[in-house]
Amino acid sequence: MFDGIHLIERINARGALIKVLDKPHLDLTTPLGRGFIAFLSAMAEDERHRIVKRANDGRKAAKAKGIKFGRRPKLSDYQQAEAIKRLAAGETCRAIGKSMGVHHATISKLAN
């Protein structure tokens, strides 16, 4: 259920009534007004589910086409191979990172 309805119920429980003065169909003091809000809430929830489904379908289609998601790597494949060679030779992650212009954690992740 929509959080707005819970908020309205909490306000009503404290004795306050909600009435939209320039929109008489949104008079939440009547059963018709509350029903209208419930209907709008259900429509909004349904649309939200549709949006999520379309987004997920789009992601699946993009992955099927070979599109990669996420941030681009800081280092090229060649730089990554060089960093791995330098790590194997005993150089520190900090020294390699400094010479390549990246954080030492970026180099550390290559070692794993």
Give 9-33 as a 3 state SS string: HHHHHCCCCCECCCCHHHECCCHHH
> Does 34 lie in the same domain as 8?
yes
Q: Cα separation of 55 and 48, whole Å?
A: 11
Q: Cα separation of 88 and 43, whole Å?
A: 59
Average pLDDT over residues 49-74: 95
Length of the chain: 112
> Does 90 lie in the same domain as 60?
no
- Residue type at position 102: V
Q: Judge whether 45 lies within some domain.
A: yes
- Residue type at position 39: F
pLDDT of amino acid 2 = 54
> Does 60 lie in the same domain as 10?
yes
In this predicted structure, the answer to whether residue 93 has a pLDDT above a threshold of 90 is: yes
Mean pLDDT score across all residues of the chain: 88
Instruction: Work out the angle between the directed axes of helices 31-64 and 3-13 (0-180°, nearest 10).
Output: 150
Structural domain total, the chain: 2
Q: Which residue has the tokens 């400094």?
A: 98
- Residue type at position 8: I
pLDDT of amino acid 33 = 80
> Does 51 lie in the same domain as 100?
no
Q: Identify the band that residue 1 occupies on the pLDDT scale cut at 50, 70 and 90.
A: very low
Enclosing domain of residue 47? 3-64
pLDDT of amino acid 42 = 86
92 token code pair: 């520190």
Average pLDDT over residues 43-53: 94
Q: Judge whether 7 lies within some domain.
A: yes
SS (H, E, C) 50-61: HHHHHHHHHHHH
